[in-house]
Structure 1
């Protein structure tokens, strides 16, 4: 005001009673029409208390704003910031520990690439503890992801409570999704929900700018932003339009003093609303639903799928998933059918589109429901044979004239895939590796691969022998910033014919690849075989088609990692030969094993009809690596071991495990796939060895006895437990803690019950031959080197 008196210019004073928001500040500037505005010159923009949307922060950083994130807690004080040389380092959203707090910070791995921050005892600013492991520590319940290349730099993901765990165990990260939608000025706040449900939904609380819109208009205006958020997340985390609930303007909801939504309290507050959203989505709708005969029903489905669901190019018998239908579209189609068709009071299963995946099949099924005339029953074995026939017709390979310049491999991540990748990168004769990753972007794919390696104590090796490959993909539209020295991570979707890469990148890949190692398969023991079709069985076919699209004299070769479960249903006692299992009933009684049986037969069909080197590697039980002992804690055996702590008992099984450490298993895979040693210019890459009927058994030829060897070893390692019969152990699991957070073994209760809640003999009577495998693999032939 004094300056205004001196200069004679109009000066504005801000009313401190008004919240200092964008809207209020801009309105004050417009109203006052002042000629002079005085503020502190900002060299740095520091924020804290909540995360900043990546898009907004990236935009500011690109414009030269030195944006810095601050992380701390009331109980601990300031712990980390992203202060850095912003001219060189644009990672504004990765905080780094302060020098004086670093010795007291520990990041605890709680999931694939996700860490919880723990503050250790001794930090002077720490005023309380909430955990004795480590002693007198404070678990912040805040989750972070490490930067793929900057040491000790961490991106804040959200609270542990922020993760939305769906019915199938998939974990949706809602914060990035909510950030994207919240950027629209019509949105005051939003909340992704879906804990324990089959799929997620979204609550939207409109802002003052939306006060004049009705729900339908507001839905139209917000849908492009929701779609954009969907494109950035994984398929299981996407929200359909029918699952978006717009609340009235002015709706109250639980929030912190900073104004951010309190997630758990909001779920309770809106529990009835959320239930009603699911009921409206899943339940039959209007009373005058359509009762259609099959011709009209097929017309209805064709129109529904093309116009409302967005699946184009369907004929009556086109497979939905071959046409590109994803899980969100399948859920949306089910919701429309439930609301609009007369189904005689029947409720459709969640997987109805997976189980009847064409217009003809789905129409016949819906007609049978309305008329109460069940379709002719189809056994799982019939479905297995049908799937083999469906994916086993291959066109003849047309030889090209080009010669591959070195080995270029397409592979996948995951536990075994990470070890395979690490070993491939260390081999001088491997020119480049492309990792196909389920991820929303190239950056996320690269981070996921690097994190997968880091989680297992592995690191990518570096080489300069990749320049021409990288440049070819750069010309195809893929930035080289997404490529490491010797591998490139590509966000992909194997259910699509172009692997989700787009036609340009896919074509570039076909001009390079010489080998494929396919180990990406959902380890899910609760799904039916049909549920493995879209992503996995069709995905295998698409990879085989990739191998047959190369411009070389012979197709690229493919090694498919199968499972001994594909043969584990063989009546015992029996010896399982190193060949295909003809009877589908001899696969273990679960969809996972049956899908592997189907895949093995498709691989053989490809080898026989095209002459390509397509090989099945049937893997046994893989355990922790031989160096650090890291074992995937979500697998069946580690979960069983957890029961020693959670229910105090382990079963006495009549089994003889033949376990193989994961790093040695990876080496055996490369030996059996012919990649462990360099070959000649072309013959080494395409050498036909054993016939197409041969299946290698990647397992330890040295066995151990479960009750006599494994359980005593666990006891000597310090575990205290009671040994009980297998049926009693299943019953104790049923009667015990049913919370999967505190007793994760219950997640596989149905699997364990199917396998052990009986008096059947165990697998002791099944012996898997390894004669041919030992001839091709030094690791397997020297099995005695890794006994125990």
Structure 2
């Protein structure tokens, strides 16, 4: 598949000779392009002239202050003025620290200190921020200089005049010298860190003269600010001789309407400058190619996707490629755009390393897997990645490894994918998931304008199905109970964000610390008087149903663990039970939910504790053990030689076994499944697995295999996969949760039952252990009455 400058990775550029550039630094690059490419709104020669003019002014006015090469700060919105001062400082041999205007004074002072920078150039609009930074800085030597003092008012009218300053200091610049520095957003730690960019990394290593440039090529439009990824977008186009259009973030807010207006302006410019048909010679010297590549962060794509007029989608569909990067785009947004004909490509890299991988693919052959990055070499990214189930060497970005929330249990999860998925709802502008150092997570739901007048309960009901779906797909400890959804007022500026559109988590957690604290305390603090004794059982049923999202009513005698209460849910329920007790009550036992096991026993326990009485377990554990032995200890149907009897006759064994396997998602079960599918003695393997549906059950088995570094369930991964049939099952239910027809068919075919499934919860009481474990094994034994079964039960 052919590449182009927009999706050419650094690895591909190197293999195509991108490292053998005809220039050694950014200054030489501008000089070279100024001679060969003389066209478009601001030409390369004008960029060169402007940078030389500003450099000359800085040298004359500030030469003594900026004596020698050093790092200087630049605090400015993304604008043409930014471009000229940035290139001028590089022309003078300085390294330029590009500071995002979203940074607070302590963060800017921190960056300047790390870079040993004592000079900060700032736009006039950011004069107050610069002054506060100077006061915050620990050193009194920080100088702040307004751009208006070094940028002439007639700069743009002077660009066409060649500049040949003779007084600029001569500083030899090598490819390995630092040209400028980006910085991290400080999303996790709260304080940004500088990221140096060498001349080679910024320009010399990029692809040159690839398809996608030249007269018949394509221009790039980027909405990303220059102080972040916008510069990378520019150099990627520039080194291939293509123009780059910049969104005027200094003058306009990023909205769908404004982005569309800018694209229309670029299209008009291309149409006006288009050479007449049949013309030759230099007729096309002023021609500006149309915008065919669109580069942005996920937030901008979400704006265009949500544009009710449809104009945003129309502009995206008209692009040859739409590139997204900087953060994870919600899957449903990306899927919807691809479904509607947008050629969406995920571009992955970092400010430290550059552009490493992309999902560029065979679009015309129906490949819609926009999230999966394709093979381009191996990189240690420190990000979390997920392999594609069928496409070799295709990986999907999941999340940052350092963006994890750590619960008090030690369990970790990344909230970003959940936040993105929830924010895709038109009812929500933003979501902040919290839970650091807590037993379970919660979420602040920031209303959108369309839900601003909804009551809290109406909003929670409206997003309930979305949250339940995400909970089903999440790890147990990452599930968010209904009573931990906290509706917030509509406020577009409620969460401070980086220029990539990602939430500044550290600042948000600090801002809403009191609200988070009250969200947990309201679950565990009560005066015991609000709920009368006769309503305690009903309260507990409602509490459990709010924690465990499951259709159907919970009965007071139903086993809680069979209902779906896991160890994480037990902690949430224990928190809620405190509301039934007076404030002076002693703390509930940590295993109170596990010990009681049913609503009826929990109600009795809480009522006795409420009235100061001691609770005595009425069930004798020894008697229960003996009764279970009596109930499940009948093995008359199984002969000592491993075969079984049916109506007194011995069933003969076939040539190859048909196996029923439980527990294939466990460590032992996955390896047993792998051995069975590789065995010539096995003709079919029925895997009984839990899951919300058949697809989810199969995914659980496939994931268990791949996590053990065994071949997955795709046909191409292992020849024995044709033997495997994964069935959604509930071992504690009649017929193992299978339909009568399926159960009868399996019972008639099965020759081996390998029962490996076993609940790994060491706090579970014996009574709760019975249904899904011991009873499940008994259910599998019952197949012997209708099949020539040879039973092998094991535990892991």
TM-score, length-scaled by structure 2: 0.52
Check the 8 A contact 2:750/2:788 in 1, yes or no.
no
Check the 8 A contact 1:143/1:156 in 2, yes or no.
yes
- The Cα of 1:513 is off from its aligned counterpart by 4.4
* Residue of structure 1 equivalent to 2:375: 97
User: Which of 265, 268, 271 matches 2:513?
Assistant: 271
* Residue of structure 1 equivalent to 2:658: 407
- The Cα of 1:385 is off from its aligned counterpart by 2.6
Q: Distance in 2 between matches of 1:267 and 1:505?
A: 51
CA gap 1:351/1:255 in 2 versus in 1, 3 angstroms: farther
- The Cα of 1:174 is off from its aligned counterpart by 3.1
User: Which of 21, 27, 34 matches 2:255?
Assistant: 21
Q: Is 1:290 aligned with 2:531?
A: yes
Q: Distance in 2 between matches of 1:72 and 1:308?
A: 39
* Residue of structure 1 equivalent to 2:595: 355
Q: 1:393-472 to 2 correspondence within 5 Å? A: 406-411=657-662, 412-436=664-688, 446=698, 449-450=701-702, 452-459=704-711
Q: Is 1:515 aligned with 2:752?
A: yes
Q: Distance in 2 between matches of 1:356 and 1:169?
A: 25
- The Cα of 1:275 is off from its aligned counterpart by 2.3
- The Cα of 1:147 is off from its aligned counterpart by 2.0
Q: Name which of structure 1's ranges 182-191 and 503-512 shifts more when overlaid on structure 2.
A: 503-512
User: Which of 467, 472, 477 matches 1:231?
Assistant: 472
Q: Name which of structure 1's ranges 263-272 and 70-79 shifts more when overlaid on structure 2.
A: 263-272
* Residue of structure 1 equivalent to 2:355: 78
CA gap 1:91/1:539 in 2 versus in 1, 3 angstroms: farther
Q: Is 1:280 aligned with 2:517?
A: no
Helix, strand or coil at the partner of 1:544: helix
CA gap 1:18/1:243 in 2 versus in 1, 3 angstroms: same
How many residues of Structure 1 are paired with residues of Structure 2 in the alignment? 488
Helix, strand or coil at the partner of 2:346: strand
* Residue of structure 2 equivalent to 1:208: 449
* Residue of structure 1 equivalent to 2:95: none
- The Cα of 1:500 is off from its aligned counterpart by 6.8
CA gap 1:394/1:459 in 2 versus in 1, 3 angstroms: same
Helix, strand or coil at the partner of 2:684: strand
- The Cα of 1:539 is off from its aligned counterpart by 3.3
Q: 1:120-139 to 2 correspondence within 5 Å? A: none
Structure 2: any 5+ residue segments left out of the alignment?
1-246, 265-306, 638-644
Check the 8 A contact 1:513/1:547 in 2, yes or no.
no
Check the 8 A contact 1:48/1:71 in 2, yes or no.
yes
* Residue of structure 1 equivalent to 2:323: 46
Helix, strand or coil at the partner of 1:152: coil
CA gap 1:381/1:425 in 2 versus in 1, 3 angstroms: same
* Residue of structure 2 equivalent to 1:261: 503
* Residue of structure 2 equivalent to 1:561: 795
Residue-by-residue CA offset, 1:481-532 (whole Å, 9 max, x unaligned): xx942324456665666767788877765565443333344667xx4342x8
CA gap 1:315/1:189 in 2 versus in 1, 3 angstroms: closer
CA gap 1:287/1:378 in 2 versus in 1, 3 angstroms: closer
Q: Distance in 1 between matches of 2:257 and 2:450?
A: 10
Residue-by-residue CA offset, 1:455-501 (whole Å, 9 max, x unaligned): 5453369999x99xxxxxxxxxxxxxxx9423244566656667677
Structure 1: any 5+ residue segments left out of the alignment?
1-13, 107-117, 119-139, 468-482, 563-788
Q: Distance in 1 between matches of 2:439 and 2:738?
A: 28
Check the 8 A contact 2:541/2:554 in 1, yes or no.
yes
Q: Distance in 1 between matches of 2:404 and 2:631?
A: 37
CA gap 1:329/1:179 in 2 versus in 1, 3 angstroms: same
Residue-by-residue CA offset, 1:717-742 (whole Å, 9 max, x unaligned): xxxxxxxxxxxxxxxxxxxxxxxxxx
Q: Distance in 1 between matches of 2:436 and 2:310?
A: 51
Check the 8 A contact 1:518/1:561 in 2, yes or no.
yes
Check the 8 A contact 2:528/2:610 in 1, yes or no.
no
Check the 8 A contact 1:219/1:246 in 2, yes or no.
yes
Check the 8 A contact 2:260/2:315 in 1, yes or no.
no
Helix, strand or coil at the partner of 1:197: coil
CA gap 1:91/1:33 in 2 versus in 1, 3 angstroms: closer
Q: Is 1:545 aligned with 2:787?
A: no
* Residue of structure 2 equivalent to 1:189: 430
TM-score, length-scaled by structure 1: 0.52
Helix, strand or coil at the partner of 1:372: coil
Q: Distance in 2 between matches of 1:92 and 1:365?
A: 54
* Residue of structure 1 equivalent to 2:613: 373
CA gap 1:73/1:237 in 2 versus in 1, 3 angstroms: same
Q: 1:58-69 to 2 correspondence within 5 Å? A: 58-69=335-346
Q: Distance in 2 between matches of 1:504 and 1:51?
A: 44
User: Which of 723, 727, 730 matches 1:486?
Assistant: 723
Q: 1:725-764 to 2 correspondence within 5 Å? A: none
CA gap 1:289/1:495 in 2 versus in 1, 3 angstroms: farther
Residue-by-residue CA offset, 1:743-773 (whole Å, 9 max, x unaligned): xxxxxxxxxxxxxxxxxxxxxxxxxxxxxxx
User: Which of 467, 483, 486 matches 1:245?
Assistant: 486
Check the 8 A contact 1:233/1:440 in 2, yes or no.
no
Q: Distance in 1 between matches of 2:609 and 2:673?
A: 49
CA gap 1:560/1:352 in 2 versus in 1, 3 angstroms: same
Q: Is 1:152 aligned with 2:393?
A: yes
